Amino acid sequence: MTKTLEGADGLTSIPALLHRNATKFADAPAYREKEFGIWQSWSWSQALDEIEALALGMIDLGVAEGDFVAVIGRNRPRLYWAMMSAQMCGAIPVPLYSDAAAEEMTYTLGHCGAKYVIAGDQEQVDKVMEIQGDLPQFEEMIYLDARGLRKYDHEKLRSYAQVQDTGRARRDDLIADMKARIAKLDYDSTAVMLYTSGTTGNPKGVVLSNRNVIETSRTSSEFDHLRQTDDILAYLPMAWVGDFIFSVGQALWTGYCTNCPESPETMMTDLREIGPTYYFAPPRVFETQLTNVMIRMEDASKLKKRMFDHFMAHARKVGPDLLDGKPVSFMDRMKYKLGDLLVYGPLKNTLGFTRVRVGYTAGEAIGPEIFDFYRSLGINLKQLYGQTEATVYITAQPDGEVRSDTVGVVCPGVELKIEDNGEVYYRSPGVFVEYYKNPESTADTKDAEGWVATGDAGFIEPDTGHLRIIDRAKDVGKMADRSLFAPKYVENKLKFYPNILEAVVFGNGRDECTAFINIDLTAVSNWAERNNIAYASYQELAGHPQVLATIQSHVEAVNRSVAEDEMLSGCQVHRFVVLHKELDADDGELTRTRKVRRKKIEEKFHDIITALYDGSRQISTVTEVTYEDGRKGAIKATLEIREAAVEKVTTRMAAE
Amino acid sequence: MLDQSEGYTTADGRKIGPVVMEMKNITLRFGGVEAIKDISFDIREGEIRAIIGPNGAGKSSMLNVISGFYVPQEGQVFYQGQPRPPMKPYQVARQGIARTFQNIALFEGMTVLDNVMTGRLTHMKTGLFWQSMWKGRAETEETVNREVAEKIIDFLEIQAIRKTPVARLPYGLKKRVELARALAAEPSLLLLDEPMAGMNVEEKEDMSRFILDVNDEFGTTIALIEHDMGVVMDLSDRVVVMDYGKKIGDGTPDEVRGNQDVIDAYLGVAHD
């Protein structure tokens, strides 16, 4: 390899980048947060001042080099600063999922042996207090929002402002120590540790070095031509690698501004107000937004609705081509311009996408209709494929080569290979250092030459070089007749229907496939309202005969589409049930990033699965549910088992 | 008995100050109906004082006497050591007393923010002229007051509905907005008329937390009327129990809980 991996201009650590920005872009906005109804902003030099004050205060508190400092809370500038302050102390920041229950935190905090915790508010402080008896190494907690904490025992508790004040007061005594610690940081020292959400077993602590973070940020920023004047909205969990790269890595590399919403509930309003130019959202967010738009259009006046339908049809026809720079006739261009004035522009403004120049989605497959909807509006929405172990980027779609069914071409600096079993391997400067305190798993995932197994099965399209992912490698199984079983492939097709929120397909080692389906309450309840269908609960709506009939028609449509693919035609769904409860992370059925945990679901609902295969017409079941405060309850239901029509397995002849 | 001049310290370590309001032998009649019969009790600085009782016990009438809306035929109200003359509602507000209503009295067509801002009226000094000019003093004043309103919006976690007209909000949120408006006046005594009425368990928990936080954070003295015994017992420092216009109990939640008259009033006994 000829390209340098040693960091241009001595920028080999996050504090070094921060110092550069504070000099080079001193007065440019670095962070904004809406507080008390007003966007408060901090320039790069102000941010540096705040971060240094906190770092000095932390040194005063006793934070030593190599200590782990956990950061728990929603996206707020001060918590991003806390991570950088930890780095300035030579400590390692560990952002944790703020919605995790206390027991889940016991594992992560205990595993990394975090001595210090920086908590966003009372809720997080309470959780850590609850488990601190199980954490022998725990020393002190710093909190941000003092609300409700006045009466707490402050022996091991300090406010963020108080630590900063100490830092400012003792600056002269401690600044030399801090500078020495920063000077020791190099390209191979640890920048951050992130826990993977883990579909199986305990979460693993992924150690990422400055090299991983900075190299990845550099190449990806160049790939998408990110600019210093860009704006992003930081609203995804801070513990997620993507947020770390977008809001810390790339933000520091390019010097753009990170905007934090006022509260999770105001996210959509804040999105409109900020109008980010660089935006990331998982497919679910795009889906929800589209569903909301469609619902509101149903209620709009006749004229508006006709205008919307007319121009959206035109946008679908020429919008994506315009975005990709393909030739479009003059008349079509003119009509698109008119549509932009009347429909697309106002719609984008409502959604907060007016300024989006680079938009990404990843994590799950996105429905082609959803994807095309946004692209046809002129929003440059693209897909990328990545994981924590790769510091996000493995493949991404370059401008002008965007499709809904691939995840793009290899990112700069990344090498890709496909093993015989279909599993995708990669090697790049972003490849993680190790799983903390877990050499076996590290060795299992990363071989001596640095190749990392993604755990996903896929293939590279020969003519375009685009990667297509079929499913998780371990989920790809065989049916009883040895044909391929790819549950995710079918589930995604099902989930593309707005009425279906979640689907789980079973069939590994069996003759036929069956499925669990969750209805999307927003879409289905709106439909029920418009059709005068009364219901009292989620459960009742989910079991309504007309809802079941609609879902059945979706399943049958998916079967027809699955049957077209020779390799996967065995995966047609023969029977299904619509579940009486929404699958939920609190019940362990989904991961915190809302991925299906197949094993858990199979164990928990084994009676329903049995019923799907033994010819029953219905099944009575009792399900345990966990409420948000950790209490448990149970719901009883009788579910109807529906048969879905399947296509005869088509041969090539019949297909033509 | 509690010492009359000094305060006391609660179980969770809060310091309760001297008496701020005292009701002495209050009797209130509506024609021939005696709504309140010879009731005396006091409210101390920084405490959460509850008035409970079954339906028709005279709780709301009592609260209206405290707020100065009803003038009792007999007895005297002392506020901050002074006997209180009959007053107009705005005079009451200027004395630092704010309240919420049992059946919600918000301006339905106005946004949440505007409703909260109306709570700041007593703190606005500029006249119509300056307000309409929208320059100089009026502008500065608006900024200052908006800041207070925003702090309360943040405190009660209603940022997401800041610009929503009140009419579009569900009941539980309207109650919270009403509390916000009362708090905007920065009262020293806050009167809450059935703050938990008609709420589900979760909304009740939220509201209880806000009431405790208000007391804790701003040191506001709170007098509240409540139906739900469980909530009252968890929330308040001292409780007055009323039945048929009479006071049948007064003391800490534990004392009240053990009081035979109170048990009878709630569970019912045969009247002869």
> Which domain covers residue A515, as residue numbers?
477-655
Q: Is the pLDDT of residue B221 over 90?
A: yes
B19 domain residue, yes or no: yes
The three state secondary structure string of A582-596 is CCCHHHCCECCCCCE
Instruction: Say what the pLDDT of residue A8 is.
Output: 59
**What DSSP letter does each residue of B82-101 carry, written as one string?**
EEPPP--HHHHHHTTEEEE-
B269 and B228 in a common domain: yes
Q: How many domains does chain A have?
A: 2
CATH at residue A592: 3.30.300.30
At A357, give phi and psi (nearest 5°): -100, -40
B223 and B148 in a common domain: no
The answer to whether the predicted template modeling score (pTM) of the entire model surpasses 0.90 is: no
Q: Which residues of B touch A36 (CB under 8 A)?
A: 147, 150-151, 153-154
The Cα-based distances of B24 to A164, A622, B237, B245 in angstroms read 52, 59, 20, 15
- Collapsing DSSP states into helix, strand and coil, what is residue A226? coil
* Angle at the Cα of A591 from the Cα atoms of A101 and A73, rounded to 5 degrees: 45
Instruction: Say what the pLDDT of residue A200 is.
Output: 63
Instruction: Say what the pLDDT of residue A111 is.
Output: 94
- Distance separating alpha carbons of residues B136 and B131, to the nearest angstrom: 9
- Distance separating alpha carbons of residues B111 and B168, to the nearest angstrom: 9
pLDDT band, residue A530 (cuts 50/70/90): confident
Across the interface, of B113, B159, B216, the residue whose CB is closest to A150 is: B216
Q: Is the pLDDT of residue A107 over 70?
A: yes
Q: Do B160 and A266 touch (CB under 8 A)?
A: yes
Instruction: Say what the pLDDT of residue B271 is.
Output: 61
Phi-psi region of B176 (alpha: psi -120 to 50; beta: other; left: phi over 0): alpha
In the listed set A280, A297, A322, which residue is the last one of a domain according to the structure? Answer: A280
Q: How many domains does chain B have?
A: 2
Rounded to a whole number of angstroms, the CA Rg of chain B reads: 19
Q: Is the pLDDT of residue A403 over 90?
A: no
Give the mean model confidence (pLDDT) for residues B164-190: 93
Q: Is the pLDDT of residue A272 over 90?
A: yes
In the listed set B181, B200, B226, which residue is the last one of a domain according to the structure? Answer: B181
CATH at residue B247: 3.40.50.300
Of B47, B77, B76, residue with least CA distance to B240 = B47
At A466, give phi and psi (nearest 5°): -80, 145
B262 and B171 in a common domain: no
**What DSSP letter does each residue of A555-571 carry, written as one string?**
HHHHHHHHHTSGGGGGG
Could you read off the pLDDT of A302-356 as tens digits, one per residue?
Answer: 999 999 999 999 998 999 889 888 899 999 999 999 999 999 999 999 999 999 9
Could you read off the pLDDT of A151-188 as tens digits, one per residue?
Answer: 788 888 999 999 999 999 999 999 999 999 999 999 99
- Distance separating alpha carbons of residues A517 and A508, to the nearest angstrom: 18
Q: Is the pLDDT of residue A92 over 60?
A: yes
Q: Per the structure block, which two tokens stand in for A214?
A: 């900075």
In the listed set B132, B154, B181, which residue is the last one of a domain according to the structure? Answer: B181
Q: Do B153 and A37 touch (CB under 8 A)?
A: yes
Beta carbons of A649 and A563 less than 8 angstroms apart: yes
Give bridge partners of residue B83 from the DSSP assignment: B78
- Distance separating alpha carbons of residues B107 and A316, to the nearest angstrom: 45
A356 domain residue, yes or no: no
Q: Do A262 and B159 touch (CB under 8 A)?
A: yes
Q: Which residues of A touch B151 (CB under 8 A)?
A: 36
Q: Which residues of A touch B112 (CB under 8 A)?
A: none
Q: Is the pLDDT of residue A262 over 90?
A: yes
State the smallest CA–CA distance between residue A137 and chain B in angstroms.
29
Instruction: Say what the pLDDT of residue A652 is.
Output: 40
Q: Is the pLDDT of residue B8 over 90?
A: no
B52 domain residue, yes or no: yes
Q: Do A37 and B157 touch (CB under 8 A)?
A: no
State the smallest CA–CA distance between residue A84 and chain B in angstroms.
27
B91 and B195 in a common domain: yes
Could you read off the pLDDT of A578-611 as tens digits, one per residue?
Answer: 999 999 888 888 887 778 888 889 999 999 999 9
Q: Which residues of B touch A151 (CB under 8 A)?
A: 12-14, 216
In the listed set A227, A252, A280, which residue is the last one of a domain according to the structure? Answer: A280
Q: What is the mean pLDDT of chain A?
A: 90
Could you read off the pLDDT of B249-258 as tens digits, one per residue?
Answer: 999 998 888 8
Instruction: Say what the pLDDT of residue B5 is.
Output: 59
Portion of chain B with pLDDT greater than 70, in percent = 97
Top pLDDT among B236 and A462 is at: B236
Q: Is the pLDDT of residue A541 over 70?
A: yes
> Which domain covers residue B175, as residue numbers?
112-181
Of A405, A414, A422, residue with least CA distance to A464 = A405
- Distance separating alpha carbons of residues A160 and A177, to the nearest angstrom: 21
A302 domain residue, yes or no: no
Q: Is the pLDDT of residue A514 over 80?
A: yes
Give the mean model confidence (pLDDT) for residues A609-638: 86
Across the interface, of B146, B151, B160, the residue whose CB is closest to A263 is: B160
B40 and B68 in a common domain: yes
**What DSSP letter does each residue of A150-190 carry, written as one string?**
TTS-TTSEEEHHHHHHHHHHTHHHHHHHHHHHHHH--TTSE
CATH at residue A213: 3.40.50.12780
Instruction: Say what the pLDDT of residue B223 is.
Output: 94
Kindly state whether B8 is in contact with chain A, defined as any CB-CB distance less than 8 angstroms.
no
B101 domain residue, yes or no: no
B123 and B32 in a common domain: no
- Distance separating alpha carbons of residues A341 and B113, to the nearest angstrom: 33
For strands A381-387 and A392-396, give the pairing: antiparallel
Could you read off the pLDDT of B141-161 as tens digits, one per residue?
Answer: 888 999 999 999 999 999 999
B107 domain residue, yes or no: no
**Taking CA atoms, what residue in B is nearest to A37?**
B150
Beta carbons of A343 and A308 less than 8 angstroms apart: yes
State the smallest CA–CA distance between residue B98 and chain A in angstroms.
23
Q: Is the pLDDT of residue A565 over 80?
A: no
- Distance separating alpha carbons of residues A542 and A256, to the nearest angstrom: 45
Q: Do A36 and B162 touch (CB under 8 A)?
A: no
Instruction: Say what the pLDDT of residue A608 is.
Output: 92
Beta carbons of A364 and A492 less than 8 angstroms apart: yes
**Taking CA atoms, what residue in A is nearest to B152?**
A36
Q: Would you tell me which residues 52-111 of chain B have a C-beta closer than 8 angstroms to some C-beta of chain A?
A: none
A509 domain residue, yes or no: yes
Lowest mean pLDDT segment, chosen from A526-535, A627-636, A643-652: A643-652
B16 and B144 in a common domain: no
Instruction: Say what the pLDDT of residue A26 is.
Output: 93
B105 domain residue, yes or no: no
Task: Tell me the H-state helices in chain B.
Answer: 59-66, 89-94, 112-118, 128-133, 137-155, 171-184, 201-218, 229-235, 253-257, 260-267
Kindly state whether B216 is in contact with chain A, defined as any CB-CB distance less than 8 angstroms.
yes
Q: Do A266 and B147 touch (CB under 8 A)?
A: no
pLDDT band, residue A649 (cuts 50/70/90): low
State the smallest CA–CA distance between residue A156 and chain B in angstroms.
19
B200 and B173 in a common domain: no
B192 and B86 in a common domain: yes
Give the mean model confidence (pLDDT) for residues B216-234: 87
Question: Helix crossing, A521-530 with A545-563: angle to 10°?
Answer: 120
Q: Do B216 and A151 touch (CB under 8 A)?
A: yes
Kindly state whether B218 is in contact with chain A, defined as any CB-CB distance less than 8 angstroms.
no
Q: Is the pLDDT of residue A270 over 80?
A: yes
Q: Per the structure block, which two tokens stand in for A347?
A: 């719609």
User: Tokens 């994506």 correspond to what residue?
Assistant: A320
Kindly state whether B132 is in contact with chain A, defined as any CB-CB distance less than 8 angstroms.
no
Instruction: Say what the pLDDT of residue B2 is.
Output: 45
B103 domain residue, yes or no: no
Q: Do A263 and B13 touch (CB under 8 A)?
A: no
User: Which amino acid is residue A200, in one-letter code?
Assistant: T
Give bridge partners of residue A118 from the DSSP assignment: A71, A142
Beta carbons of B259 and B248 less than 8 angstroms apart: yes
State the smallest CA–CA distance between residue B71 and chain A in angstroms.
38
ipTM of the complex: 0.77
User: Which amino acid is residue B230, in one-letter code?
Assistant: G
Give bridge partners of residue A596 from the DSSP assignment: A590
Q: Which residues of A touch B147 (CB under 8 A)?
A: 36
Instruction: Report the residue of B14, B112, B159, B212 to disrupt the A interface, i.e. the one with the largest count of A CBs within 10 Å.
Output: B159
Question: Helix crossing, A14-24 with A210-223: angle to 10°?
Answer: 50
- Collapsing DSSP states into helix, strand and coil, what is residue A636? strand
Q: Per the structure block, which two tokens stand in for A341?
A: 């004035």
User: Which amino acid is residue A22, in one-letter code?
Assistant: A
**Taking CA atoms, what residue in B is nearest to A267?**
B160
Across the interface, of B12, B151, B160, the residue whose CB is closest to A36 is: B151
- Collapsing DSSP states into helix, strand and coil, what is residue B12? coil
Of B56, B101, B115, residue with least CA distance to B195 = B101
A428 domain residue, yes or no: no
Top pLDDT among B138 and A395 is at: A395
Q: Is the pLDDT of residue B268 over 80?
A: no
Of B98, B26, B51, residue with least CA distance to B224 = B51
Burial class from Cβ neighbours inside 10 Å (0-12, 13-18, 19+) for residue B252 reads: middle
Lowest mean pLDDT segment, chosen from A52-66, A132-146, B25-39, B227-241: B227-241
- Distance separating alpha carbons of residues A431 and A426, to the nearest angstrom: 8
Of B250, B214, B249, B206, residue with least CA distance to B231 = B206
Residue B168 is given by DSSP the state: G
B242 and B125 in a common domain: no
Instruction: Say what the pLDDT of residue A7 is.
Output: 55
B241 and B201 in a common domain: yes
The Cα-based distances of A376 to A345, A593, B41, B237 in angstroms read 12, 28, 71, 62
Instruction: Say what the pLDDT of residue A4 is.
Output: 42
Q: Per the structure block, which two tokens stand in for A482?
A: 């040895």
- Distance separating alpha carbons of residues A286 and A271, to the nearest angstrom: 13
A102 domain residue, yes or no: yes
Q: Which residues of A touch B209 (CB under 8 A)?
A: 148
- Distance separating alpha carbons of residues A364 and A489, to the nearest angstrom: 11
B44 domain residue, yes or no: yes
Is the four-CA dihedral B51, B54, B55, B56 of positive or negative sign? negative
Q: Is the pLDDT of residue B12 over 50?
A: yes
Torsion of CA B202, B203, B208, B214, to 10 degrees: 130
Q: Is the pLDDT of residue A412 over 70?
A: yes
The Cα-based distances of A394 to A362, A383, A416, A430, B230 in angstroms read 11, 11, 8, 9, 57
Instruction: Say what the pLDDT of residue A116 is.
Output: 96
Q: What is the mean pLDDT of chain B?
A: 88
B134 domain residue, yes or no: yes
At A359, give phi and psi (nearest 5°): -125, 140
B211 and B140 in a common domain: no
Question: Helix crossing, A44-61 with A171-184: angle to 10°?
Answer: 100
Kindly state whether B15 is in contact with chain A, defined as any CB-CB distance less than 8 angstroms.
no
Beta carbons of A110 and A135 less than 8 angstroms apart: yes
Is the four-CA dihedral B156, B161, B166, B169 of positive or negative sign? negative
Instruction: Say what the pLDDT of residue A198 is.
Output: 63
- Distance separating alpha carbons of residues A552 and B109, to the nearest angstrom: 45
| Spatial CB neighbours of A613, under 8 Å, sequence gap ≥ 6 | A510, A512, A514
In the listed set A221, A249, A280, which residue is the last one of a domain according to the structure? Answer: A280
Q: Which residues of A touch B13 (CB under 8 A)?
A: 151
Q: Is the pLDDT of residue B166 over 90?
A: yes
For strands A231-233 and B19-30, give the pairing: unpaired
Q: Do B217 and A262 touch (CB under 8 A)?
A: no
Q: Do A265 and B159 touch (CB under 8 A)?
A: yes
Of B72, B115, B122, residue with least CA distance to B97 = B122
User: Tokens 């033994």 correspond to what residue?
Assistant: A614
